[in-house]
Amino acid sequence: MKPKRIHHIGIVLPTLEAAHHIMDLFGMEVDYQGFVEAYKADLIFTKYGEHESPIEFIIPHEGVLTKFNNGKGGIAHVAFEVDDVEAARKEFEAKGVPLLEKKAVPGTDDIIVNFLRPKFTENILFELVQTVAPIKREANQPVK
């Protein structure tokens, strides 16, 4: 499985205010945002240009992500875009590398995702992302 490109870098932050502070500091703009039920987290994806990948700010409301880096947040994962998350999962499992989820889970409306367990990837969490629909930028749901 060879990734197509870096899809985004995921950063966990404890609050929306922290995400907006970083965005203001670097002059970033919201591209789209939403809520991911599977991980109980608000997401904000930043706009990106020709030579950069977006940042995904993850603001968890419950679960293990609220404890990430002792609740302070930090860089969570590097996401690679792939053509087929399920085919990639099967390929990794054939190599003895199980993924976090038994089957890809919905991310935002436009993607499905799965993660490689850090114990198999030198303690780095990698996300595999498959685009399954156009991004609904006009229908953005404001985060809580």
41-63 pLDDT, tens per residue?
A: 999 999 987 767 899 999 999 99
The 8-class DSSP code of residue 115 comes to E
90-143 pLDDT, tens per residue?
A: 999 999 999 999 999 999 889 999 999 999 998 999 999 999 998 777 655 555
How far apart CA 107 and CA 113 sit, in angstroms, is 6
Task: Look up residue 85 and give its two tokens.
Answer: 């998350």
Each domain of the chain, given as residue ranges in start order, spans 5-108
Q: Does domain 5-108 have CATH number 3.30.70.890?
A: no
Kindly give the residue spans of alpha helices, DSSP state H, lying in the chain: 16-26, 85-94
How far apart CA 102 and CA 24 sit, in angstroms, is 38
55-60 and 111-116: which strand pairing?
unpaired
